[in-house]
Structure 1
């Protein structure tokens, strides 16, 4: 992995770009959510494909690639926010101009299907990115959680972040202390990188995992694949975040998620905490990927001492 580059912080008056590099979202909801950024004094520039539809995608692969690259190339755009996830980023990762992106580092923000781009941008462009709430799923809702909205403040002022039990209960699965660069994202997308040029590298890192709408047997299958690929054994520590709506549905007889974690994650013996409100949940707290962090089961905390912006 290249040496990581942190983008510049945001200030009032800056222009931000909003794109849909995966699935299409409701344009009206995107515009509604963008008012949150306007209230912070930011100017909005929408991607040309933001309202397009191509099956389950927000425009063709070429249109979505061009949108993303235009935003990185535009010197007026200081940050790029993804409107939603869904599906599609894995389709465009191999065609991106990572040299262009590396030469124009800026804030890149999203989660869920955006995970594939987090991994790609970190490994190919050496860019610190942000796993955080998106417009259609977290802002354009009836009552956005105050902590979800507050998590954007880290983009305006570099500050250490500490996640402990004052936010949510945390369960120790494997005791210990671990330090390393924090990486990861959505479980399904992490698994989809395996065997590709973008295969996630977990050596000496803190691996964050979240998921939504997957039954325990599917979680079992994906965690088993990461285990067999050596990703847990290589990691310094593991953060198991929100697994929203991941109970049994098709099958009445099922292992619990805790049993699945015990079978596939715990045997690696790496410090592991469960219960972070990061992912498809409310609140949905943002964390920078590609910066150093410390995981402590003694204090039941994740401490990110290095801010994600300069």
Structure 2
């Protein structure tokens, strides 16, 4: 695997900065995006939209070339200071290897998104060392934002202080927590998408704190994804595991899913902290990728540098 230097940082945002929504994967709900844009405008940001942000082309927001062009245009434009994915869904993995990585190196700016957008985060980390933000302006169906997460995302984008995340005992993955501490760059995201990037966009995870979250978990798929990552050698040398939300198609299978994940992760012999508020579940929070993090399983906390 290629060694990656994760010291590349993006400039923090300021009031008056221009940001752009693009759709690298599936077509979003327009009203939901507009509600989030209004919140960004309340922060003093000038919000724009990619030409194909609301286009429908099969499962995707435009063709591969259209989605790639929107994303690259935002990355190349020196006036755009942050790029927000309208949603995940499916499709960013189809274009992740074709990004204009030279433009990213020349003018580092944050990409904010999660779920399928994990493919873009991993490719950018691998090729440039720049970490984005795993997360979004999470909100409910009425457009109301999750206030704690809004504060955290504002701090990530505008501030430079470390952020501490507390594990939640009510999350099923909390039962995966072991003991011990570990430090390293925080790398990861959605489990299924991470497995999709293995061998071509996944960065070197040696020495990293691996972030894992999953949505609509099914035993067979979960087992296959973890097996792929392990047998491909991608989990060798990780320093620790930060486990977020694993949302389930069948909540009654939560215990079996957790036992299955435990079987894979405990073989690595590193500290595991479960129950973290990252993913597709209730009151999810945003977190910066590529930043140095300290995982303390005994204290139930993950501290990520600003």
Fold match by TM threshold 0.5: yes
CA contact (8 A) 2:125 2:203 kept: no
Alignment-derived partner of residue 263 in structure 2: 263
Q: In the superposition, relative to structure 1, how do residues 167 and 78 fare at CA in structure 2: closer, same or farther (>3 Å)?
A: farther
Deviation of the 1:260 alpha carbon: 0.4
CA–CA distance in structure 2, aligned partners of residues 40 and 297 of structure 1: 35
Secondary structure class of the residue paired with 2:235: helix
1:166-203 residue CA offsets vs partner (Å, 9 max, x unmatched): 8967445332111100000000000011232x133210
Q: In the superposition, relative to structure 1, how do residues 255 and 39 fare at CA in structure 2: closer, same or farther (>3 Å)?
A: closer
CA contact (8 A) 2:167 2:274 kept: no
Secondary structure class of the residue paired with 1:265: helix
Q: Map 1:124-139; keep pairs closer than 5 Å.
A: 124-134=127-137, 138-139=138-139
Q: Map 1:1-310; keep pairs closer than 5 Å.
A: 1-134=4-137, 138-139=138-139, 141-142=141-142, 143-154=144-155, 155-165=157-167, 170-171=174-175, 173-196=177-200, 198-247=201-250, 256-304=256-304, 306-307=305-306
Number of matched residues? 299
Q: In the superposition, relative to structure 1, how do residues 167 and 173 fare at CA in structure 2: closer, same or farther (>3 Å)?
A: closer
RMSD value, Cα: 2.0
Q: In the superposition, relative to structure 1, how do residues 224 and 141 fare at CA in structure 2: closer, same or farther (>3 Å)?
A: same
CA–CA distance in structure 1, aligned partners of residues 280 and 196 of structure 2: 19
CA–CA distance in structure 2, aligned partners of residues 35 and 262 of structure 1: 41
CA–CA distance in structure 2, aligned partners of residues 298 and 248 of structure 1: 27
1:223-277 residue CA offsets vs partner (Å, 9 max, x unmatched): 122222233332100011101124379xx8x971221022111121110011111
CA–CA distance in structure 2, aligned partners of residues 105 and 168 of structure 1: 37
CA–CA distance in structure 2, aligned partners of residues 163 and 69 of structure 1: 32
State the TM-score, normalizing by the size of structure 1: 0.90
1:203-232 residue CA offsets vs partner (Å, 9 max, x unmatched): 010000001112122212211222222333
State the TM-score, normalizing by the size of structure 2: 0.91
Q: Point out where structure 2 has 5 or more consecutive residues left out of the alignment.
A: none
